[in-house]
Amino acid sequence: MKIGILGTGNVGRALAAGWSGAGHDVVLGSRRPDDTGLRAELAAALGEAVPVVDVSSAVAGAGVVVNATPGTASVPLLAEVGAPALAGKVLLDVAVGFTEDGALSHLGESLGEEIQRSYPDTMVVKTLCTIDSELMVAPDSLEGPSTVFLSGDDAEAKRTVGGLLNDLGWPTESLLDLGGIATARGQEHYSLLFLGIAGAIGAYGFGIRVVPPARS
């Protein structure tokens, strides 16, 4: 699978390492691909296996595009790429937007929905936004199984993303398909509880597991 990851922060780097290690053909898309400092930093973190290119090139060559940009930067960045380049592609959206005062940028709505609405010919799947970047690629680092959620309107795109989650180490029984992209709201609004739990336990590397009723 050719994966173009937009964003070179902690999330982009973790996912690039994870999927590259699983044998996928990964490129990182950056707004400043010629920044020698950034290139050196990424080479130190990821080796030479993951090329750094401009965002349009990252999208052009990819079957799956990953939005790992800050949630408040995602919409303008995707607008630069443009709808024709994104049409027909799966867009795996990991981002959550926070305003400067720490509030959700898409309160009562979701970034996932905004992206899907703006690019109706792209298949947006929201996932992985309920966990920290290090955990995204290391589900075995937890004490036991936890749940990862998927939201998206296109069933085939969710299957593709489910396979990519498997490749990061998330077993299929840990994946929970919440339904259409409108359910991204739940994933994104959970961020507030995520931050509360992180403060309480003093760590970001935790999961949540949906605990079902006991079988009778």
* Cα dihedral 193, 199, 205, 206 in deg (nearest 10): -50
Tokens of 15: 């996912």
Structure tokens at 139: 């589900």
User: Is residue 87 part of the contact set for a copy of itself (CB under 8 A)?
Assistant: no
DSSP state of 214: P
Q: Which of 43-51, 72-80, 158-166, 178-186 is the region at the interface with a copy of itself (rule: CB under 8 A)?
A: 178-186
The least CB distance from residue 189 to a copy of itself, in Å, is 4
Which distant-in-sequence residues (6+ apart) come within 8 Å of 15 by Cβ? 5, 66, 68, 94, 133, 136, 137, 168
Q: Toward a copy of itself, which CB reaches closer, 49 or 193?
A: 193
Q: Rank residues 57 and 147 by Cβ distance to a copy of itself and give the closer one.
A: 147
The mark string for 136-155 relative to a copy of itself (x by CB under 8 A, - otherwise) is ----xxxxxxxx-x-x----
Q: How far apart are CA 211 and CA 155, in angstroms?
A: 24
Provide the minimum distance between the beta carbon of 205 and a copy of itself in the complex, in angstroms, as a whole number. Answer: 5
- Write phi, then psi, for 127 (nearest 5 degrees): -160, 170
Cβ at position 159, least distance to a copy of itself in Å = 16
Task: Give residues in contact with a copy of itself (CB under 8 A).
Answer: 103-104, 107-108, 130, 140-147, 149, 151, 176-179, 183, 185-187, 189-190, 192-197, 199-201, 203, 205-215
